[in-house]
A and B are shown apart, each in its own frame.
Chain A
Amino acid sequence: MEESTTGFWADIGQFIETWSPLEILLIAQNFDRFLYGALVTLELTLLALILGGLISIPMAIARANKNSWFNGPVWVFTYFFRGTPLLVQTYLIYYGLGQFEWVRESVLWKPILAQAWWCALIAFTLNTAAYTTELLRGAIETTATAKVETAKAGGFLNWMRLQRIILPSAFRRVLPAYSNEVVFMLHGSVVASTITIQDLLGAGRWLNQQYYLSSEGFITAAVLYFVLVLLITRGFRYGEKHWLSHLYPEETKKAREGLSTFRI
């Protein structure tokens, strides 16, 4: 590093080195790794949320429509993915698929299924799709009956009714619950570090291994995760104020309290 620095900053460095219980200088020197890891984490989380969200829309519609033959298979899918740990789902895809020869010989093997990053993305996408489907189904099913009947009376046909009345309303009302899902997907993305991906936690583990530390890397990762979650929840708060202002203060408050804890 730059040896020529004297005076104030050198004094600060000296001070930290002697007095801090944590190796802050090592964290600072390797901070770019953490930022890069945070980028990987965000990238995986966002892509999974977007892809999973897109898949979940038709599935939620199928689930809300009890007569559809699609309802059963989608239920099996969501039940399976919501009832089992994301870690094992990811292992199943990353480590498991190689068991089959036809997978190893397929065109998808080399570019996608043998790559940790893609496997993580696939697992995260399917997982969040399952949770989002059920959230969205709930929102669709609780659309005010009067709204739907008005649309029928107004001559809206099935598809149009869904597109113009039910879905826009459901998307808005699902926001508070969906913000939880987003935070949980971010939390869940730490699983990526267990299959060799250098995400935010991966950077923390790397730092600890590199310098024989026990906690510095994890603490740094924890702080950065905390900041990310804070930003996400703030963003959603803002979005809720914007899109759900017609429900404030009574119903949004209720919805928030009801959903204050968890998914499933």
Chain B
Amino acid sequence: MDAIIEYQGQLLQGTWVTMQLAIFSLLVAVLFGLLGAWASLSSNRLAQNIAAGYTSIVRGVPDLVLLLLVFFGGQELANAIGSLTGLWDYAEISQFAAGVGTLGIVFGAYMSETFRGAILAIPKGQIEAGAACGMSRPLVFRRIIWPQMVRHALPGFSSNWLVQIKSTALVSVIGLQDLVFNGFAAGRSTRQLFTFMFAVLVIYLVMTAVSDLGLRWLDRKYNKGVVRTQ
């Protein structure tokens, strides 16, 4: 316990890095998710196929494998492109950028499935009715599609986000000084790895529990006036 107090700065700094990683990768994931949902619902055959290929590759390959591939392979690819085109000499992909990019791509695939289902769950008649009342398309989106889409997407979004928080731990494998990395280093130097790994677990548990509470509050907010069947 004393050791944890002694190393609390390191742990808090790691927690901050982990939180940043989780939030930035969430933004990327939502962006990819919306793009993926839009592509898979579009009438363009090619866009549909690209969206389907994207989700099935991500579902088939573990996130750590993709992370290592992006970090090490992406580095080489970036340099190869640089020397081929002469645009840049040496490009470096940071651990943080690789983490944000990979987690964003991976969870974007899951988000796109969630969003797609949520959009499909809105009765088409409502959208048509909005148009018939003379609403413009942005207005239809704001007043009719968005509030219901959020409601339908929230349960899936919540579980994706909780898994995503936990997946940030993997970025410590490529050397990002996140919560796991710092906790491990502190545990090594004090020879108290159990204590520190347990502290790291508890911090993750707090992060997932707080998110869970926040998402439940949102869920209640967006489900106001909806009768739930048991």
Contact = CB atoms under 8 A, between A and B. Distances in A.
Interface of A: 79-80, 83-89, 91-92, 95-100, 183, 186-191, 193-194, 201, 204-205, 208, 214-215, 218-219, 221-222, 225-226, 229-230, 257, 260-264
B140 interface: no
Interface residues of B, number: 49
Contacts of B75: 214
B160 to A, nearest CB: 6
A91 B172 CA distance: 12
Given A85-B166, A99-B192, 16 more contacts: A83-B208, A85-B168, A87-B170, A99-B191, A187-B63, A190-B62, A204-B68, A205-B68, A215-B72, A215-B77, A218-B73, A221-B65, A229-B59, A260-B113, A262-B110, A262-B156
A225 B198 contact: no
A185 B66 CA distance: 16
Interface string B154-169: 0010011011001111
Contacts of B226: none
B198 A96 contact: yes
Contact of A215 (B64, B73, B193): B73
A63 to B, nearest CB: 18
B61 interface: yes
B130 interface: no
Q: Which 8 A-B pairs have the closest CB atoms?
A: A215-B73, A96-B194, A85-B169, A226-B60, A187-B62, A92-B197, A99-B194, A85-B166
Among A92, A188, A257, A262, the one with the most B-chain Cβ atoms within 10 Å of its Cβ is A262
Contact of B159 (A191, A214, A262): A262
Interface string B177-200: 000100110010001111101101
A91 B187 CA distance: 11
B158 to A, nearest CB: 8
Contacts of A193: 64
Given A85-B169, A95-B187, A261 B113 contact: yes
B121 to A, nearest CB: 9
Contact of B166 (A84, A99, A229): A84
B72 A218 contact: yes
Contact of B193 (A98, A225, A261): A98
B57 interface: yes
A14 B27 CA distance: 46
A194 B173 contact: yes
